[in-house]
Structure 1
Amino acid sequence: MRTQFRKKRFWSRWVVPVLSVACFKYFGFHSWSGAYGLESAEALEIRRVELSERLASLTERRQHLERKVMLLSDGAVEADMLDERARFLLNVAREDEVVYFN
């Protein structure tokens, strides 16, 4: 009976560890500096705060506009609202008045 022995090559025992380290580095790099990584978490938090402040201001403006529409659309327009809108749209004021527009 004849047997053949193969001599193990030096690099063959390093293939699996090298590939494992390469995969670990790849995923580690992207978990640190990727689009949703640890570095970008602070930028996302700053953006969230900015957007929540903008949402608050827009909500306040919307509520203000809804109050104005409610005063105009309840069927009986209040006299001062009608007077304010007419003066604003027609650019009419008396000589003794000072008018401030928002």
Structure 2
Amino acid sequence: MAGVWLFLFGYFAFHAFQGDNSLAALKRLEVQQQELSALAEDVAAERAALEARTAKLANRTIDPDMLEEQVRLRLGFTHPDEVIVFIPATGR
């Protein structure tokens, strides 16, 4: 009878540390959750920045500086005595 109990204990102990539902798998999932949470925060910050930039181009409240920047960038308008250098945004 003791052998049966020893076998059952060994069986459950082995599977507690091995396999898809083990403690090691739980630790890997926790690390993955932290990485994905950090990524989600980065994406949310980027989205907020894009929404703020888009809001400046809304019909009701057009920011003159934003409008001028877009006109110069897309249409190439400059004053005769200006030299403009556009630096591309990184990470996009």
Q: Of 85, 88, 91, which residue of structure 2 is paired with 1:101?
A: 88
Structure 2 spans left out of the alignment, 5+ residues:
none
CA shift for structure 1 position 26: 3.5
Instruction: Name 1:67's counterpart in structure 2.
Output: 52
Q: TM-score, normalised by structure 1?
A: 0.64
Structure 1 spans left out of the alignment, 5+ residues:
1-15
Structure 2 residue 27 is the aligned partner of structure 1 residue 42 = yes
Is residue 15–residue 22 contact of structure 2 (8 Å, CA) maintained in 1?
A: yes
Superposition CA RMSD, Å: 2.4
| Identity value in percent | 28
Counterpart amino acid of 2:72? R
SS at match of 2:57: helix
Can you list the C-alpha shifts for 1:47-84, whole angstroms capped at 9, x where unaligned?
Answer: 12211110111011011011011111152322211122
Structure 2 residue 76 is the aligned partner of structure 1 residue 76 = no
Q: Distance in 1 between matches of 2:25 and 2:73?
A: 48
Name the larger-Rg structure.
Answer: 1
Q: TM-score, normalised by structure 2?
A: 0.69
